[in-house]
Structure 1
Amino acid sequence: MVDKSEKVVWLARIGFATRGVVYVLLGYLALTTAKYQTVDDGAGDAFAMMAEVPVGWAVLYIAAAGLLGYALYRFSAALFDIERKGTGAKGLAHRAGYFASAVVHTGMAWTAAKFAGGARHAGEDQSARWAESALGYSLGSTALGIVGIALIIAAALQARNAVTADFMKHVSSRAPQATCWIGRAGHAARSVVFAVIGWSLLRSAWFERSSEVLSLGGAINDLRGTGWTFTLVAAGLLLFGVFSIILARYRTIPDPSPDRSFR
């Protein structure tokens, strides 16, 4: 009989695969969209493409479940330290990055579920709407600032991974030979996007304006006009998708149950 923790591990693997498909589609859209057009909503655009395939609603519900499982896995890594990062400054930085990743993928799961339920479009400015709701509370700007800082920390860690390839410590030796270089390119591109989104959240918190917040698609659009930088980031996002699909099979995933993670 499969216990709850094992179910979360399998959902995390589905989440890696789903994340991979989303980033492949996102990179493809960014590379093929005309220079002066935009990627409307990042992951939302990818989910809209999924909705067009036969029984797309079922695919999207599986995607939503997988992304939620992945988010729970990242929340477990942040709160219960299942990745064994510790409580030192470096460990806490990693855990802050995991928390930011969990928040991002929870939002992606919500968007996928909305499309699965029949939504034609999740909205171009969903991130701004969430930020506007947060700013309506007394500590909303502080919360946005914390998430922004977490995303910038995550961006720094992604950049570090691009240089050191530390992510390979969690990848089986049976993975394809090119996995390391695909992962490096993907992490480098993702670090740029995370930094742009994190900075937008900090601006939103400082000026208390939800319009400052950029979604994943908005961050990509913000890089348009940078020439080869934009092209390299878009190609890197596509490669990060390929890397994530490889991880779905070859990533070593710790038991997410907090009472077992320290055995």
Structure 2
Amino acid sequence: MADKSHEGLKWIMRAGYGARGAIYVLLGALTLLAALKSVEAEGTKDALASLRDEPMGVAALWAIGFGLLAYMVWRIVAGVADVEDHGTDGKGLVARAGQITTGVIHGGIGISVFGLAMGGSSGGDSAQDWTQKLMAMPMGRYLVAAGALVLLGAGIYYAYKGWSGKYKEHLRDAALTRKLDPVLTAGLVIYGLLLAVVAFSLGIAALRADPSQAGGLGQALHTIRTMPFGRVLLGITGLGLLGFALYNLVEAAFRVIPRISGPNVKTLAARAMS
């Protein structure tokens, strides 16, 4: 790729991570509000719908939608061109397939954000809707179960990525990234645990052939609130979601792309080893 292509891909990547960061800033703030007041914790779709009613909310939704499409482009290009040097062995191909898959998923979310910006409905639980559609298909229960396993794997991966510090391999060593390191770790671990809760609800739905058992992030947050000391746990979760939002914003500014950034850029992981 030419230098202009490199710079273009960097900005696409930054827009994508920035859009993800904006979504989780909103979700984390609303989760904290739910912990402090007697209001229901909201999922991603409802949180974005609430943004639409705010001043400049529609413009913000369009910006987030385009950012998520940029994230889709970044992940697909990264997977196809292997700009992060995952390689062509079995492990590398799985990682690259995961990049492409997450890109397509975020592209779908981006399109739904455009629908909200144009006044589309925010009602209903999207996880239940999709589960119901899948279960109506041949082998539908098995498809939902497979989706639950994939989501559980993603949750374990995010938690491991945070706990082990593996994310440091892709972050440039800088005073700000060093200072924010503990917050990024907590954000990734809590986000991974939330994905695991969502995966569990999908697994129950598949086991019982009951789409109403499926829930998205909003249902996961509601489950946390119903636990003993639920409001405290929900507050911690809200802070964790803000930490995950910060992780995405830091990625937007400091992510190292091996085939583009070059071999001389020092990462947080390299600093920890030195």
Per-residue CA shift, 1:189-247, capped at 9, x if unaligned? 10111101112222222222211221121211111133243322221111111221121
Q: Given that residues 11 and 65 in structure 1 are in contact (C-alpha distance below 8 angstroms), is that contact kept between their aligned partners in structure 2? A: no
Change in 2 beyond 3 A, CA 1:154/1:20: same
User: Highest Rg: 1 or 2?
Assistant: 2
Q: Given that residues 193 and 216 in structure 1 are in contact (C-alpha distance below 8 angstroms), is that contact kept between their aligned partners in structure 2? A: yes
Matched, 1:201 2:167: no
Change in 2 beyond 3 A, CA 1:145/1:84: farther
Q: Given that residues 28 and 241 in structure 2 are in contact (C-alpha distance below 8 angstroms), is that contact kept between their aligned partners in structure 1? A: yes
| Structure 1 residues without counterparts, runs of 5 or longer | 257-263
TM-score (norm 2): 0.78
Match in the other structure for 1:14: 15
Matched, 1:243 2:247: yes
Cα distance in 1, alignment partners of residues 238 and 101 from structure 2: 21
Matched ranges for 1:168-247 at <5 A = 168-174=168-174, 176=176, 177-226=178-227, 227=229, 228-247=232-251
Change in 2 beyond 3 A, CA 1:94/1:206: farther
What value does the CA root-mean-square deviation take over the aligned residues?
3.0
Matched to 1:132, the amino acid is: Q
Q: CA deviation at 1:167?
A: 0.4
Per-residue CA shift, 1:87-109, capped at 9, x if unaligned? 76755765576466446534432
Identical amino acids, percent of aligned pairs: 28
Cα distance in 2, alignment partners of residues 92 and 181 from structure 1: 31
Matched to 2:40, the amino acid is: T
Cα distance in 1, alignment partners of residues 118 and 20 from structure 2: 20
Cα distance in 2, alignment partners of residues 78 and 223 from structure 1: 35
Match in the other structure for 2:70: 69
Q: How many residues are paired up?
A: 254
Q: Given that residues 43 and 108 in structure 1 are in contact (C-alpha distance below 8 angstroms), is that contact kept between their aligned partners in structure 2? A: no
Matched to 1:38, the amino acid is: E
> Which of 35, 39, 42 is the equivalent residue of 2:41?
39
Change in 2 beyond 3 A, CA 1:253/1:51: farther
Match in the other structure for 1:108: 109
Cα distance in 2, alignment partners of residues 230 and 88 from structure 1: 41
Q: CA deviation at 1:173?
A: 1.8
Which 10-residue stretch deviates more, 131-140 or 91-100?
A: 91-100
Q: CA deviation at 1:186?
A: 0.5
Per-residue CA shift, 1:71-101, capped at 9, x if unaligned? 3434555677554445767557655764664
TM-score (norm 1): 0.81
Q: Given that residues 154 and 192 in structure 2 are in contact (C-alpha distance below 8 angstroms), is that contact kept between their aligned partners in structure 1? A: yes
Cα distance in 2, alignment partners of residues 100 and 231 from structure 1: 31
Match in the other structure for 1:259: none
Q: Given that residues 94 and 157 in structure 1 are in contact (C-alpha distance below 8 angstroms), is that contact kept between their aligned partners in structure 2? A: no
